[in-house]
Amino acid sequence: MTIPDPQRGHRLAAACAVAVEAGLFAQSRFRAGGLAVDRKGPQDVSSDADRVVEALIRRRLAALFPEDGFLGEESGFAPARSGRIWVVDPIDGSWCFVHGIRAWCVSVAAVDEAGMELGVVYDAEAGELFAAARGLGATLNGRPLRVASAQSLGDGTVSVGFSHRSRPEEVAPLIGELLRRGGLYHRHGSGALALAWTAAGRLIGYLEPHMNSWDALAGLLLVREAGGFATDLSAPGRLARGGAVVAGAPGVRSALEELAARYFRQDPPPPPNSSAGAARA
């Protein structure tokens, strides 16, 4: 029997406080508008708000845990002296954020030598704080979470993510097969939030051919701690490169993994942020 780290709850509380502060600040920028937007690639944007919010999170975590490392979508990688790395997406769902769509969140995760340790997803627009720590379960605004009880793809909705790091051939036929099996699909715009919804039982699963670790880690731990199954992107090499994500309720695991094995390519593309290349290599 593994005894949970007695400090893990303290670190989770700190991560929650930082995520909420960052989310409320991001919300003020979201509602004010007038964002300076950069285009990274097809359907891939960021704004000055992404950079400011990540800088805020990085400062707060460095002050609280100065020995820890950091991997952020906007500012890259700083090595750890403690064995723990914070993995952050300041605004997951940036395309939605800059277009005034309320499908975005703050994602804060931590990994240690044993893998995924902490995960926090804060949806400021809905006032929903999803939080999980390895061995301590998952909660939504302090209430325990549990994945759906689905036993077949026809028992609920699967979120299917896509970015242009992947190929249309990995998603279009998969959606067709999902529909033929009596399922439905949902496209959220924020992978982290869709994974949080999966942990909450609102969705029965999540599939995406490639996610970056900062988009996925918090949500993946939420799903696991809510009783589901989820890919592990914290393994050596995966933290920097990312990879395919499959997560959901235990009753649909075989069906979701079959779809992923049939349609997703096995080798992830190179990381878009080369400065992250040293992270957990």
Query: Same domain, yes or no, for 65 and 108?
Result: yes
> Is residue 235 situated within a structural domain?
yes
Query: Same domain, yes or no, for 23 and 120?
Result: yes
Confidence class of residue 267 from pLDDT cuts 50, 70 and 90?
A: low
Query: Same domain, yes or no, for 160 and 121?
Result: no
Residue 131 has pLDDT above 50, yes or no: yes
Mean pLDDT for the chain? Answer: 90
Query: Same domain, yes or no, for 137 and 165?
Result: no
Confidence class of residue 20 from pLDDT cuts 50, 70 and 90?
A: very high
Q: Look up the CATH number of the domain holding residue 238.
A: 3.40.190.80
Residue 190 has pLDDT above 50, yes or no: yes
Query: Same domain, yes or no, for 114 and 186?
Result: no
> Is residue 2 situated within a structural domain?
no
Query: Same domain, yes or no, for 106 and 178?
Result: no
- Say which amino acid occupies 151: Q
Residue 68 has pLDDT above 80, yes or no: yes
Q: How many CB atoms lie within 10 A of CB 29?
A: 18
Residue 64 has pLDDT above 60, yes or no: yes
Boundary residue ending a domain (144, 176, 193): 144
Domain enclosing residue 126, as ranges: 8-144
Query: Same domain, yes or no, for 128 and 231?
Result: no
Q: How far apart are CA 207 and CA 204, in angstroms?
A: 11
Query: Same domain, yes or no, for 65 and 193?
Result: no
Can you give the pLDDT at residue 260? 95
Residue 281 has pLDDT above 70, yes or no: no
> Is residue 279 situated within a structural domain?
no
DSSP structure class, residue 269:
P
Alpha-carbon 45 to chain mean position = 17
Residue 276 has pLDDT above 50, yes or no: no
Q: Across residues 149-163, what is the average pLDDT?
A: 95
Query: Same domain, yes or no, for 126 and 191?
Result: no
Question: How many structural domains compose the chain?
Answer: 2
Q: What is the pLDDT of residues 88-103, one digit of tens each?
A: 999 999 889 988 999 9
> Is residue 3 situated within a structural domain?
no
Q: Across residues 224-250, what is the average pLDDT?
A: 93
Residue 263 has pLDDT above 90, yes or no: yes
Query: Same domain, yes or no, for 12 and 118?
Result: yes
Contact of 26 with 91, CB cutoff 8 Å: yes
| Least confident stretch, 63-67, 116-120, 269-273 | 269-273
Residue 271 has pLDDT above 70, yes or no: no
Can you give the pLDDT at residue 45? 60
Can you give the pLDDT at residue 275? 40
> Is residue 280 situated within a structural domain?
no
Boundary residue ending a domain (102, 124, 144): 144
Query: Same domain, yes or no, for 104 and 208?
Result: no
Boundary residue ending a domain (93, 119, 144): 144
Can you give the pLDDT at residue 235? 82
> Is residue 137 situated within a structural domain?
yes
> Is residue 281 situated within a structural domain?
no
Can you give the pLDDT at residue 277? 42
Can you give the pLDDT at residue 279? 58
> Is residue 241 situated within a structural domain?
yes
Q: Across residues 212-224, what is the average pLDDT?
A: 97
Alpha-carbon 65 to chain mean position = 22
Question: HEC states along 108-176?
Answer: EEEEECCEEEEEEEEECCCCEEEEEECCCEEEECCEECCCCCCCCHHHCEEEECCCCCCCHHHCHHHHH
Residue 1 has pLDDT above 60, yes or no: no
Can you give the pLDDT at residue 153? 97
Cβ partners under 8 Å of residue 139, min gap 6: 130, 131, 132, 145
Query: Same domain, yes or no, for 260 and 166?
Result: yes
